[in-house]
Structure 1
């Protein structure tokens, strides 16, 4: 076997592993998103929608709802930040990340008292922010796990480039998070309508199952799915 062929095989394995992982985590995100929306009435990952709804609430003079939505946006941002920190300090990044998401969702599922429902909403939003740090790219291609607008935009631009002569097909990977999100949302909606708030427990268990499945992914490969912080630091240092 030639060195070039061996490299192609390794690259293909990395890509397939990444695609399966992204599909599974996007499925989890879709389940959480649909369950959270049905239980709370507000988006738990669609921050563009929450931004627009917050603006509409402000224009209507509904300051309370606007404050809730703006707070959700801030919590989502903090969840993303926490996800990056956790993945950076963990050896088994994806396992620890998904395990943390599972724990947060499990705690949220226990907050069923009326005066704790707002806290439950924020914890679901926080979990949705965290999960974005599990996989940031596949072979250099940016991937979004809880928001598909960017993925669909990249997919559409890829079609446009193909029409004008660019025959690369790496952009087709962007349909994976959208497909996973749709299927997961269907599953989450069905579960929530069948068992109500208990659906959060099932979503939490699914997240933990994914976490243990991720243990099968070698640590060097897990690191390839995240941004290389050290490389950025080196670039900054060399620019001084």
Structure 2
């Protein structure tokens, strides 16, 4: 597997996270399925104002994301490095299929968002680490910091001239995915998740194909 493919694979995962987070944000009226810092702030403000009911929504999403991370991490720990990415992404795809099914059958409830948060928590167990940066993450605060830091070092002549590009690409991937998710929701609110399901399934199939061939998407422990 070439480095270019590894980077493209990871950036597609990050774009997928942006796509799903945008759908959740619109559907839940300002809450997130992957951006838990935002949910934590919303919950904290609600608690500070004594609005216990308003704090419940972000609290449930935070807990659900953590459970997804636990399940994804556990699955990754139980599988060999060769099959790790394929198994985690296959699990994520199944969770997104469940989210789509809930969205279609009970569209007036937020059940689908819980499966989306589970999927986003699990996805972080399939991060792709290439050349000193990580792609596939469902949050980009660290990437944005890395972008600014490395750009500053480059301008000061103390770092690679283009060392900031990968981190900037991660942020742009999330941005692009979120824009695509918003457009998809505008076209078909009920079936917008189909694009996310198809993407996750394709990535899982690609990872599985490489595993069958005796290769693997770059694993964090290997770089």
> Is the structural similarity TM-score above 0.5?
yes
* From 125, 141, 160, the counterpart of 1:133: 125
- 1:71 maps to 60
| 1-structure distance, mates of 2:172, 2:209 | 24
Q: How many angstroms does 1:194 deviate by?
A: 1.0
Runs (5+) with no aligned partner, structure 1: 1-12, 229-240
| Higher Rg of the two aligned structures | 1
TM-score by length of 1: 0.80
CA contact under 8 A between 1:192 and 1:199: conserved in structure 2?
yes
* From 196, 199, 203, the counterpart of 1:203: 196
Local SS of the residue matching 1:45 = coil
Between 167-176 and 177-186, report the one with greater CA deviation. Answer: 167-176
The one-character-per-residue Cα deviations of 1:80-109 (angstroms, maximum 9, x if unpaired) are: 222222223234222222211111011111
Local SS of the residue matching 1:196 = coil
How many correspondences in the alignment? 216
CA contact under 8 A between 1:80 and 1:132: conserved in structure 2?
yes
Runs (5+) with no aligned partner, structure 2: none
The structure with the greater share of residues assigned to helix is 1
- 1:107 maps to 98
TM-score by length of 2: 0.85
| 1-structure distance, mates of 2:209, 2:169 | 21
Asked if 1:51 corresponds to 2:40, the answer is: yes
